[in-house]
């Protein structure tokens, strides 16, 4: 029987022969590289054949199962967009200040970075009777999804819309509580979906699965941000947009969660993987058009065994370095999400948030700040595009770059993020700002792909829950750090351009560090 591990061994043997010929004839280096690149692009027309062959194999079917589980993230984000818009507008309508309406998003990250890794560690230590029959991550997700759905249904019931006689104080208190709980559950579901997919997926597809999860998440964020802002009342007798979007969002959320409720893939994967050493080489190109027509890539990828040598335990030193890299990179990545509203209102539209509400300066600020939702959608578009670019590069350059491609892609997307932040900091107008948001989204999405795939590369099956939730916390904590430090920088300089320059600094460290992870 043959496997991708065997195929890679064959490739390494051929590489040794190529190396010997290079040593004997220096001129053959250029010839070998030229042939490799030309074969890569010459095989692009065979892409449909590779796609069909892949998805008809057991490995492809494993990817389909993973995709079905990932879709619940999209449902969660679509529902969350409605919850966010409804709860925030309700708080403001009943007299809550702007600072109070954002309180849930200040509390939930602090709570999440503490309790989510604890839950992740516990999910790795559940009794085997649960892990092998139901699945520990699936159990946590089932409870979280049901609780999230129940809270989402309570938001309109306690908002004063259905029961207008409710006291304003009760409405404000209930909306704050539900919004905080829902934001925590949102983070729970996203982190545990990644952990669930990491458990179910074939180890050879771990990097690709995280990239696809990022793409689905980016699409859902774009849909949610834009759908809630469509003025449906102009064309349909539905009143406020939320009257129609909100119930549809909740229904979509429960429909996309069906695979989580009924799939037994995690239980089977735990029973199969717990006592098996993971292969040293786990990630493979999803659709490698770099293979030659008569190469062993046509062999059924699941028709073989993996290498005998493997990782017996998680490499915590490497995982720790990845987490440090994650905190530095996402300190940069969160800059635009946090400061775009003020940057648009003050530096692009030249408004003043402290001016009189009826003044021209204040109206200019409001006009600019109101575009923050659109800027978030542009960033989300970049996040989604980063996944497709990653997949395309993975397919085209797999043979040329080998296993080095992941770290090279990570460094490349960090460079894109750096360029986007610098361009945004010195943007003279709206068009330059918008293009910078695309670059920031590309860098943000590429960093997400890199950090989850590298952490998974050094993780044993027994620690998947803990590592995935630690990575999620390492992504979330920098958001708070950027908010505090960026606000202090604005206070010192008086300019909202400063946080973007401040955010670019850690990338000068993460770009070279990427190459050694």
Residue 84 near residue 161, CB atoms below 8 Å: no
- Per-run averaged pLDDT (10 residues), the chain, 517 residues: 42 43 44 48 62 74 83 81 73 70 76 86 84 87 90 83 83 86 86 85 75 80 73 61 73 88 85 60 50 41 38 80 92 89 87 82 83 83 87 80 82 94 92 94 90 84 82 86 88 90 93 88
Query: Does residue 195 sit in the same domain as residue 87?
Result: yes
Rounded distance between C-alpha atoms, residue 453 and residue 447, angstroms: 10
- Tokens standing for 69? 């589980």
- Closest CA relative to residue 67, chosen from 204, 188, 211, 187: 211
Residue 287 near residue 51, CB atoms below 8 Å: yes
Q: What are phi and psi of 265, to 5 degrees?
A: -65, -35
28-42 vs 4-24: helix axis angle to the nearest 10?
Answer: 150
Query: Does residue 264 sit in the same domain as residue 411?
Result: no
Query: Does residue 354 sit in the same domain as residue 250?
Result: no
Query: Does residue 220 sit in the same domain as residue 337?
Result: no
Structural domain of 138: 66-273
Q: Angle at the Cα of 373 (from 371 to 375), degrees rounded to 5?
A: 70
User: At which residue do the structure tokens 């400063």 appear?
Assistant: 498
- Closest CA relative to residue 421, chosen from 501, 483, 480: 501
479 occurs within a structural domain: yes
Q: Give residue 31's pLDDT.
A: 47
Query: Does residue 376 sit in the same domain as residue 269?
Result: no
State the sign of the Cα–Cα–Cα–Cα dihedral 246, 250, 252, 256: positive
Q: Is 280 exposed, middle or buried (0-12, 13-18, 19+ CB in 10 A)?
A: middle
Q: Give residue 286's pLDDT.
A: 54
Q: Is 299 exposed, middle or buried (0-12, 13-18, 19+ CB in 10 A)?
A: middle
What is the rounded radius of gyration, in angstroms, for the C-alpha atoms of the chain?
Answer: 24
Query: Does residue 212 sit in the same domain as residue 104?
Result: yes
Query: Does residue 321 sit in the same domain as residue 267?
Result: no
User: At which residue do the structure tokens 């010459």 appear?
Assistant: 42
Domain count, the chain: 2
Query: Does residue 374 sit in the same domain as residue 497?
Result: yes
Q: Give residue 311's pLDDT.
A: 54
Per-residue b or e along 368-379, where b marks 16 or more CB atoms closer than 10 Å to that residue's CB? bbebbbbbbbbb
> The pTM is what?
0.74
């Amino acid at each position: 029987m043959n496997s991708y591990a065997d195929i890679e061994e064959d490739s390494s043997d051929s590489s040794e022969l190529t190396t010997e010929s290079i040593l004997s004839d220096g001129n053959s280096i250029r010839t070998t590289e030229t042939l490799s690149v030309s074969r890569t692009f010459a095989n692009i027309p065979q892409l449909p054949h590779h796609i069909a062959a892949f998805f008809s194999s057991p490995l492809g079917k494993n990817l389909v199962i993973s995709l079905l589980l990932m879709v619940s993230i999209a449902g969660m984000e679509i529902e969350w967009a409605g919850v966010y818009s409804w709860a925030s507008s309700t708080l403001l309508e009943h007299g809550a200040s702007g600072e109070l309406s954002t309180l849930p998003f200040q509390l939930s990250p602090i709570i999440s970075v503490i309790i989510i890794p604890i839950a992740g560690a516990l999910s790795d230590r559940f009794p085997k009777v649960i892990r092998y029959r139901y699945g520990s991550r699936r159990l946590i997700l089932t409870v979280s999804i049901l609780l999230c759905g129940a809270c989402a249904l309570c938001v309109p019931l306690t908002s004063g819309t259905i029961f207008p006689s409710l006291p304003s104080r009760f409405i404000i208190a209930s909306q704050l509580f539900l919004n905080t709980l829902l934001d925590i559950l949102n983070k729970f579901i996203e982190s545990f979906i990644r952990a669930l997919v990491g458990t179910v997926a074939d180890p050879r597809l771990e990097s690709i699965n995280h990239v696809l999860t990022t793409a689905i998440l980016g699409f859902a964020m774009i849909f949610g941000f834009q759908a809630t802002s469509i003025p449906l009342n102009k064309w349909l007798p539905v009143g406020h947009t939320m009257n129609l979007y909100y119930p549809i969002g909740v229904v979509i959320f429960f429909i996309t969660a069906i695979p989580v409720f009924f799939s037994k893939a995690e239980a089977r994967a735990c029973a199969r993987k717990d006592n098996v050493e993971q292969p040293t080489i786990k990630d493979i190109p999803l659709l490698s058009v770099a293979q030659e027509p008569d190469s062993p890539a046509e062999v059924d990828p699941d028709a073989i065994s993996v290498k005998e040598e493997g990782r017996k335990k998680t490499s915590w030193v490497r995982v720790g370095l990845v987490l440090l890299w994650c905190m530095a990179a996402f300190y940069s990545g969160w800059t635009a999400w946090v400061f775009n509203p003020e940057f648009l209102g003050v530096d692009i539209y030249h408004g003043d948030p402290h001016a009189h509400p009826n003044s021209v300066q204040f109206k200019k600020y409001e006009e600019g700040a109101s575009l923050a939702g659109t800027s978030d959608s542009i960033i989300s578009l970049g996040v989604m595009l980063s996944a497709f670019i990653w997949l395309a590069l993975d397919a085209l350059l797999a043979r040329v770059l080998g296993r080095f491609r992941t770290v090279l892609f990570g460094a490349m997307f960090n460079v894109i993020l750096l360029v986007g932040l610098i361009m945004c900091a010195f943007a003279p107008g709206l068009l330059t700002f918008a293009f910078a948001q695309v670059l920031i989204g590309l860098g943000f999405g590429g960093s997400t792909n890199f950090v989850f795939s590298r952490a998974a590369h050094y993780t044993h099956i027994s620690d998947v829950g803990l590592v995935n939730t630690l990575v999620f916390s390492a992504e979330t904590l920098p958001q708070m750090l950027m908010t505090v430090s960026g606000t202090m920088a604005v206070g010192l300089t008086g300019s909202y351009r400063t946080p973007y320059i401040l955010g670019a600094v850690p990338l000068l460290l993460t770009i070279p560090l990427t190459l050694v992870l």
